[in-house]
A and B are shown apart, each in its own frame.
Chain A
Amino acid sequence: EAGVTQFPSHSVIEKGQTVTLRCDPISGHDNLYWYRRVMGKEIKFLLHFVKESKQDESGMPNNRFLAERTGGTYSTLKVQPAELEDSGVYFCASSQVLGEKLFFGSGTQLSVL
């Protein structure tokens, strides 16, 4: 069974550009989460999808971030325009049932120069 996959693994962009991160959860997992770790600090929650619906987006830092999960399968996280402070590692995780074990992807390392 494939795990959670994220693409790209690394992205280097200039300030002001747009970047789109993709996450493919484990097949059949309704719950999908985005997290990020900035500057080696704690991993912070961004948002939670249940199927295609946003269950909780309280962690989204501002309106430059847009997450979608059309059809309830893969999800994208777009940053537009990117700022220097957006640099960090963006993790995606999925679970089949709320409260069960989270399966994480390897993360996307985003560097904004």
Chain B
Amino acid sequence: GDSVTQMEGPVTLSEEAFLTINCTYTATGYPSLFWYVQYPGEGLQLLLKATKADDKGSNKGFEATYRKETTSFHLEKGSVQVSDSAVYFCALSDQSYDKVIFGPGTSLSVIP
């Protein structure tokens, strides 16, 4: 079945460091890909998405490109802030859109 794998955390970075969180997926067909974020004490929020190959999703300085050839959707940010500390989930939905399949999550802590 469809699945999502992402790098194990926790990840600890200093403020203004470069962030990469790797994500790869297994799916039949052409899924849509997402990054969700959960800030402390809050629910999951959609951070960005891409619906077809070579699409780039971006939001709040974060970017991820849908790479069909490598089945990847790595999350990047050039300069992280303390406020980016959260758990990040890579996810996909199949063409029927009836459910979203999540990866295990990567906890990010950014220290001043």
Q: Which residues of A contact B45 (CB under 8 A)?
A: 104
Name which residue of chain B comes closest to A3, CB basis. Answer: B43
Contact A102 B100 (CB under 8 A): yes
Residues of A1-56 whose CB lies within 8 A of B: 3-4, 33, 35, 37, 40-45, 48, 55-56
Name which residue of chain B comes closest to A47, CB basis. Answer: B99
Q: Which residues of A contact B102 (CB under 8 A)?
A: 35, 42-44
Contact A106 B46 (CB under 8 A): no
Task: Count residues on chain B whose CB falls below 8 Å from chain A CBs.
Answer: 19
Task: Count residues on chain A whose CB falls below 8 Å from chain B CBs.
Answer: 25
* Cα(A102)–Cα(B43), bound, Å: 11
- Count contacts between A and B, CB distance < 8 Å: 49
Q: How far is the CB of B40 from chain A (nearest CB, A)?
A: 11
Q: How far is the CB of A36 from chain B (nearest CB, A)?
A: 11
Taking a contact as CB atoms closer than 8 A, the residue among A48, A59, A106 that contacts B41 in the complex is: A106
Contact A43 B89 (CB under 8 A): yes
Residues in B lying within 8 Å of A, measured CB to CB? 4, 36, 41-46, 89, 93, 97-105
Additional A-B contacts beyond A42-B104, A42-B105, A106-B43 (13; CB < 8 A): A33-B100, A35-B102, A40-B105, A45-B101, A55-B98, A59-B99, A91-B43, A98-B97, A98-B98, A104-B36, A104-B43, A105-B43, A106-B41
Residues in A lying within 8 Å of B, measured CB to CB? 3-4, 33, 35, 37, 40-45, 48, 55-56, 59, 91, 93, 98-99, 101-102, 104-107
